[in-house]
Copies of this chain bind each other. A is one copy, B any other.
Amino acid sequence: MSENTTLDQRFAHGLEVLRMVDGEAGQRVVDSLADISPELGNQIVSWAFGEIYSRPGLAPRDRQLVTLGMLTALGGCEAQLDVHVNAALNVGLTPEQIVEALLHSAVYCGIPKALNATFVAKKVFTERGLLPLGPQPTPASATSA
């Protein structure tokens, strides 16, 4: 029998994954729900992280690439983008890859949502002392210009 099938065990396992991915920011979100909707906090930990994030079929960095795309496209999720730009760095994406993913989002979501997401990344990178980024690689067509 699994050691994680009771509610307490699923919560404990999810909390471990949450801390690895989102760091303290994830814990703060869960804490801020304690007096209003502890069950939503519980579901974030037990379900989102304990059951979905912990599945081995997709690497943590790949999950954050999908997540950055979704949060950029949804719009109005700047608070969650803040957590997940941090998470993306935590699981090994470089600042340059994150910026490139958000540039890529302009093609599918349009310039305004790409801008909103990029300004969240700017805030996070500033807080973590990562700016300015070094020169970014440009397409073959441009480098020879």
Contacts and interface: CB of A to CB of B under 8 A. Distances in A.
Copies of this subunit? 6
Contacts of A4: 139-142
A36 B122 contact: yes
Interface size class of A (residues with CB under 8 A): 35 or more
Interface of A is mostly: helix
A142 B118 CA distance: 31
Interface string A1-38: 11111110110010000000000000001001111111
Given A35-B132, A116-B76, A136-B57, A104 B5 contact: no
A54 B79 CA distance: 30
Contacts of A107: 47-48, 52-53, 110-111
